[in-house]
Structure 1
Amino acid sequence: MPQLAHSAQTLLEKLDGFRVEIDPNRERADIVLQRPPYNIISMAQRDQLRLVFESLDENPDVRVVVLRAEGEHFSSGGDIKGFLEASPEHVSKLAWNIAAPARCSKPVVAANRGYCFGVGFEISLACDFRIATETSLYALPEQKLGQIPGSGGSARLQKMVGITRTKDIVMRSRRIPGKQACEWGVATECVPDAELEAATDRLVDELRAFSPIAQRTAKKLLNDTEDSTLAVAIELEGHCYSRLRSSDDFREGVEAFHAKRSPSFTGR
């Protein structure tokens, strides 16, 4: 019987511009951009990042995924020359690839310092949490190239900060400091640059303490109801709540609460 082959096997043989670190003891996976000094994200790298997120989503040793970078800048954006060389079919997949953190059922944390521009900003916006530092600068500078954001940047940003602020950022290619991004609700937290790793560790450990099934349910519910009416959102929330009531984790949580002890969740 012939063996089945998948293009992903070839794509992941050599990671382009990043590495993956998995720590089973901490139930954590780190995707680390490593093309300093600016960690430019290539076209091929976008395909690989999607596949890696999908693989980590299936990995039972991983509870939380962290997207971070080496050096003083998270990412200055994409490989500009690569856009002109890519086929229309490839370009049409850009937003799908960069949305991989949002589709991942597990919590995804982006640790941003320095430049977080273009696709670097867009993939961070697709994460669940963004920790900024006082050196962070967020921007969608595509107008300077005669283009617009093409991987979900303007769409996600408008949901977060509204049309007025989004126009200010997109149409003027404005750079938003980390502190302002936090005040606007773009970043979850803003910390001194030297504390980024410690703040990321704290958030990962906090997320790991919750029930995996409750975390997955909450993330999917919030993503699915972002564009729904209030009535639909409440209805779906009720269905999700009802299903979780029969989970082992909910029973464990209730019993631990009454016993005044820390719960031991299993994700079932």
Structure 2
Amino acid sequence: MSTREDGGMAAWSDWKQVEGEGLDDFAEIIYEKKQHLPSGGGIARVSLNKPDRMNTLTLATVDEMFRAFYDANHDPMTGVIVIAGKGRHFGAGGDVEWERWGLREAFYNRYPHNRLIRLSRKPVIAQVQGYCIAGHNHMAYCCDFTIAADDAVFGQAGPRVSSPADGFFVPYLTKVVGAKKAREMWMLCRKYKAEQALEMGLVNTVVALDELEAEVDRWCAELLEKSPGCLEVLKAAFDQEMEGYRESCATSAAMYPDWFDMPEGKEGGAAFLAKRRPDFWRLREREAGMRQALLDAYLADGAAPAAGE
């Protein structure tokens, strides 16, 4: 077992890819563990591994993350889970091409990736560099800690690409950055640089990009010096914050049960793929005209009920 010193604070074994049934055939993530030699505890790292697609998410990604999280949470020698992204960016949200059909399954049949973090017994750290947008952004702020490189950029994109979102991870952001900033982030789809994110409380600390992994190691070392059982209880206690909110997709499914088959539901993704500005209000104008035409026809047919009926 080789060791290395991290700023004189901690000695670690090398990362080792996890092997075992269901854990060594991943196509979308890399799953590794290493040991903190002074304490004897270990950490697990789940790295999103599609750098050529900016680590975009599909349900296949979440399925693989589930297996890694399940293993890490059932390993008594693992004290912390790190979520990272390979390449220049942590991630740019859902794969828009996949979302054109796949979001139907995600909305009505499956579990969101944030639920893995919320139900994890072990503290979870997001290790963020480059873009941290949309699904990756709310995954990061749902983590117990977020460590950002100085090149990180955060933000949401749902309303820009006709991708509705609801459930615990939306209102939870008000607890992280405050109600006004949370609505600004979700409704305006603005982007925020790392220092802005630090100022609003979206991240715990910002370091130079070449110091990012070492900084995450330092935070992990501090956590591993504490009672793992106490940290598990504390994480569960803090995560009660999210238990009072509805699960994902319930509001969207109730308000717009046919969203993905409606023109507005298709327009954002189509515009993104075509690299053009979406034309939501032209669609709304046509819808208003059709509604009025239907009402006029109904009244012209004398179908309106008489007063008092």
TM-score when scaled to structure 2?
Answer: 0.65
Q: Deviations over 1:120-177 (max 9, x none)?
A: 1122122110001211111111111123335754222122122211121111111111
Distance (Å, rounded) in 1 between the aligned partners of 2:158 and 2:105: 20
Change (3 A) 1:176 1:87: closer
Structure 2 unaligned blocks of 5 or more: 1-19, 245-309
Change (3 A) 1:10 1:83: farther
Q: Which residue does the alignment assign to 1:57? A: 73
Q: Which residue does the alignment assign to 1:35? A: 50
- Superposed, 1:105-254 pairs within 5 Å as 105-149=121-165, 152-225=168-241
Distance (Å, rounded) in 2 between the aligned partners of 1:127 and 1:92: 24
Structure 1 unaligned blocks of 5 or more: 1-8, 229-268
Distance (Å, rounded) in 1 between the aligned partners of 2:167 and 2:62: 10
Residue 16 (str. 1) matches residue 31 (str. 2): no
Please list every run of at least 4 consecutive aligned residues from structure 1 whose deviation after the TM superposition is greater than 4 angstroms. Answer: 9-13, 150-153, 225-228
Change (3 A) 1:87 1:64: closer
Q: Which amino acid aligns with 2:149?
A: T
8 Å Cα contact 1:98/1:151 also seen in 2: no
Q: Which amino acid aligns with 1:34?
A: N
Change (3 A) 1:188 1:20: same
Change (3 A) 1:225 1:174: closer
Give the CA RMSD over aligned residues.
Answer: 2.4
Distance (Å, rounded) in 1 between the aligned partners of 2:55 and 2:71: 22
Query: Cα distance, 1:97 vs. partner?
Result: 3.1
Q: Percent identity?
A: 24
8 Å Cα contact 2:58/2:102 also seen in 1: no
Query: Cα distance, 1:79 vs. partner?
Result: 1.0
8 Å Cα contact 2:172/2:242 also seen in 1: no
Moved more, 182-191 or 46-55: 46-55
Moved more, 158-167 or 169-178: 158-167
8 Å Cα contact 2:150/2:206 also seen in 1: yes
Distance (Å, rounded) in 1 between the aligned partners of 2:85 and 2:164: 25
Query: Cα distance, 1:84 vs. partner?
Result: 2.2
Distance (Å, rounded) in 2 between the aligned partners of 1:10 and 1:82: 28
| SS of structure 2 residue aligned to 1:186 | coil
Query: Cα distance, 1:23 vs. partner?
Result: 1.8
Distance (Å, rounded) in 2 between the aligned partners of 1:172 and 1:51: 35
Q: Deviations over 1:177-229 (max 9, x none)?
A: 1111111111011112121111101000000000011111111112125678x
Distance (Å, rounded) in 1 between the aligned partners of 2:103 and 2:165: 17
| SS of structure 1 residue aligned to 2:78 | coil
Larger Rg: 2
Q: Which amino acid aligns with 1:14?
A: D
8 Å Cα contact 1:168/1:174 also seen in 2: yes
